[in-house]
Amino acid sequence: MEPDTDFLVRRAGVEDALQIADVHVAAWRETYGPLLPAGALDSLDAGERAQKWAGIIAGGEEVLVAEDAGGIVAWASGGPGRDDDAPVDRELEGIYSPARVHGSGVGQLLLDAVIADSPAYLWVLDGNARAEAFYRCNGFRRDGAEREHAVAGIPRTTVRMVRS
């Protein structure tokens, strides 16, 4: 896909919660589906996730969305590091987009908007090669830290990547 510059990146509002949840569910199914047992993500519900997103946004968390003429196509969140042993002050909490916009440049736009070129860290599911390659291109490297994280209730290893 050719890089697209027709995305608007803006701060999310509570009214965006359902579209964010739709993107979240689609991205999880496409990205994590192959890394989990068959059917593990079938019960994901965008309506339920929308309620959680509305609370996150209303609580003041930094959530950015990218939209095109059809609506929200991706989101990102970031903030102060949430871990006691954070290697740097800023954490990229997530960037999610469905496969239909991969390669469009939207992930880069969101990364640049949420953390710019600041030192930051993130956690990525071990085995998510596409995401890890993207982060490596942006200066992130594994620092050796790992932890278990439940994805749809199934424990999986996540690895920490840091950009100093």
Domain assignment present for 94: yes
CATH number at residue 43: 3.40.630.30
Note if the pTM is more than 0.85. Answer: yes
| pLDDT tens by residue, 15-45 | 999 999 999 999 999 998 888 888 889 989 9
Domain assignment present for 132: no
| Owning domain of residue 77 | 8-118
| pLDDT tens by residue, 51-110 | 999 999 999 999 999 999 999 999 999 999 999 999 999 999 999 999 999 999 999 999
Handedness of CA 38, 39, 45, 48 (dihedral sign): negative
Domain assignment present for 131: no
Domain assignment present for 71: yes
Q: Can you tell me the distance from the alpha carbon of 138 to that of 159, in angstroms, rounded to the nearest whole number?
A: 16
Give the contacts of 122 (CB within 8 A, at least 6 positions apart): 91, 92, 93, 94, 135, 140, 160, 161
Domain assignment present for 137: no
